[in-house]
Amino acid sequence: MNFLGIFLGMVGPWQIGLIVLAILLLFGGKKIPEMMRGLGGGIKEFKKASKDEDGDSKLEEKK
């Protein structure tokens, strides 16, 4: 089993709550939505780039 699987097996609901609370205290309530918006935009760009890459490789295969 890899490290991540072991780590996730040991994290319970109380630990997740403490992590969320620590993040809230570190960054504040106003900064978190802004960070999530940026993360969502990054994921959207990644999916778009991977889709474009798939389209480019299919065009090259046809030639």
What tens digit of pLDDT does each residue of 5-36 get? Answer: 666 667 788 888 888 888 888 888 888 888 88
Mean pLDDT of the chain: 78
Tokens 């109380």, located at residue: 14
What tens digit of pLDDT does each residue of 29-57 get? Answer: 888 888 889 989 999 999 998 888 766 55
Q: How far apart are CA 40 and CA 51, in angstroms?
A: 16
- Residue 23 neighbours by CB distance under 10 Å: 13
Q: How far apart are CA 54 and CA 22, in angstroms?
A: 40
Statement: the pTM of the whole predicted model exceeds 0.75? no
Contact 35, 27 (CB under 8 A): yes
Contact 23, 15 (CB under 8 A): no
pLDDT value of position 40: 92
pLDDT value of position 19: 87
